Amino acid sequence: MPPDIDALKLVALDADDLSVVSAHLQDAVAKVADMAYLPKEMRFAMLVNRFDWAAAARGQTMRRRAGVHFARVLSAQTRGFSLAERDTVLNLLAVEFQEREAPSGTVTLYFSGDAAIRLEVECLEAGLSDFGAAWAAGHRPLHRDRS
């Protein structure tokens, strides 16, 4: 089987890197059951079905299974959803890093419906990796112009 040349494997070590990862994760969907904070390992990870915006630029409507992880996580907090409702599906809008005392700071994952995950990190160390082949998506996410 030939390699999937469109599969992403990205690393983020600063806010600029994370903005690239965030752009590729815009409109990814994730189940609460596919998220985990592992305090002993200082790690947060989640599996998502991300909308492939690069394929959309070529006229294709595709999704890809991807893993996202953050290392050196000191704490994790959620807002706007319950971890007990494991079948809840969240739509990821953006991921941002706010540096406090270099190199530490806060990573915030923003979801639709005012939901969020806030990660306090020693430093920014994140990754995004696609798994498996892409599949046809039912539709392209729409964004209303707020101007």
Query: What is the per-residue pLDDT for 140?
Result: 83
Q: Using one digit for the tens of pLDDT, what is the confidence trace for 2-54?
A: 456 789 999 999 999 999 999 999 999 999 999 999 999 999 999 999 999 98
Q: Is the pLDDT of residue 147 over 70?
A: no
- Return the half-sphere exposure (C-beta side, CA atoms, 13 A cut-off) of residue 143: 8
Chain centroid offset of residue 63 CA:
14
Q: Is the pLDDT of residue 81 over 70?
A: yes
pTM for this prediction? 0.92
Cβ-based burial of 135 (10 A; exposed 0-12, middle 13-18, buried ≥19):
exposed
> Is the confidence at residue 145, as pLDDT, over 70?
no
Q: Which helix (H) or strand (E) holds 58?
A: none
**Residue 34, pLDDT score:** 98
pLDDT in tens, 92-143: 999 999 999 999 999 999 999 999 999 999 999 999 999 988 999 988 887 6
pLDDT, average across residues 63-92: 97
Cβ contacts of 135 within 8 Å, gap of 6 or more = 62, 63, 64
What's the pLDDT score for residue 108? 98
User: Cis before residue 103, ω within 30 degrees of 0?
Assistant: yes
- Whether 1 has a pLDDT exceeding 70, the answer reads no
Q: Which residue has the higher pLDDT, 106 or 55?
A: 106
